Structure 1
Amino acid sequence: SGKNVNILAVRETLESRGVLGQLKARIRAEVFSALDDQREPRPPLSHENLLINELIREYLEFNKYRYTASVLTAESGQPEAPLDRQFLANELRVAEDTSSKSVPLLYGLVSHFLNSSDNGGKVFLRGASLPTAPTGSNTVPGTDA
């Protein structure tokens, strides 16, 4: 019975320090990583994916979704260290004012599109050059193998 009390005390201490959630997230990330070894390889971390993942990570961490952010980082292969905010803004050709710097870039981007009245309220999107998932064959599309 004394062991149970000690375990509960340790658990409460870990919870109060926010460590228990971090440990659970780390275990979750390791499980995803182990499962990934058995799945098809993920697409390469292209420049676009790097920027998109960083926008999402910044949003997740701002909203205290740290466990989700840790799994995203582990599963996507995103570098552990976040990209510099100014670098990210420059890459997206975004100029910021003081108020926009206090929230994730994703909020500013969504706000821009929600409040944009160009082209009758529609924004024309072009397809990005996304990487294709690696495959086991080297066949060229449109040819008979």
Structure 2
Amino acid sequence: MNENQTISEKELLDAMKNLLKKSGHLNKFQAEMRAKVTEILQERQVSQTPGFQSQGAPTPTNEVLLINELIKEYLEWNGYLYTATVLTSEAAMPGAHKPRAELCAEVGVKDDDKSSALPLLANIVAAYTERIKRKINKSKKDNV
């Protein structure tokens, strides 16, 4: 570039945005910003509303915690790492991962070579739909 050429501010911003997109950093920054905004809004709601969850958010049930963990595992398995980060923040989940073996034990799924190729949530849905199909087929046979 010679000295007579100048780059406009918009061109510079567009170039930076494109570089951040290509490197994958733009999505990460956006997810981190969303997580932080969510955290700030939650804190603000609690502090500005008298009596609003003055003891903090209600303690989630074991089922809710398990569902959150399954959703987080599904998101991470699919590569939705930034979405998982926002979920972790918004649901006030612990940063530590629950081991897959522990999740399997909680939902009653036996993890083998075939099932480990999919997220647990997909295995649960597949098992449920297979069970429904078997019931339908059994019902059809009984009615014949």
TM exceeding 0.5: yes
Instruction: Provide the alpha-carbon RMSD of the alignment.
Output: 2.3
Deviation at residue 63 of structure 1 after TM alignment: 2.5
**Residue 98 (structure 1) aligns with:** 113
- 1:13 correspondence with 2:28: no
- Residues 26-105 of structure 1 aligned to structure 2 (within 5 Å): 26-37=32-43, 38-39=45-46, 40-41=52-53, 42-105=57-120
- In structure 2, the CA distance between the partners of 1:3 and 1:87, relative to structure 1 (3 Å rule), is farther
Flag structure 1 segments of 5+ consecutive residues without an equivalent: 122-145
Q: Structure with the greater relative contact order (CA < 8 A, sep ≥ 6): 1 or 2?
A: 1
Size of the alignment, in residue pairs?
A: 121
Q: TM-score, normalised by structure 1?
A: 0.71
Deviation at residue 33 of structure 1 after TM alignment: 0.9
Larger radius of gyration: 2
- Determine helix, strand or coil for the equivalent of 2:94: coil
**Residue 49 (structure 2) aligns with:** none
Distance 2:113 2:35 in 1: 35
Deviation at residue 111 of structure 1 after TM alignment: 0.7
The structure whose residues are more often helix, as a share, is 2
- 1:110 correspondence with 2:125: yes
Flag structure 2 segments of 5+ consecutive residues without an equivalent: 1-5, 47-51, 137-144
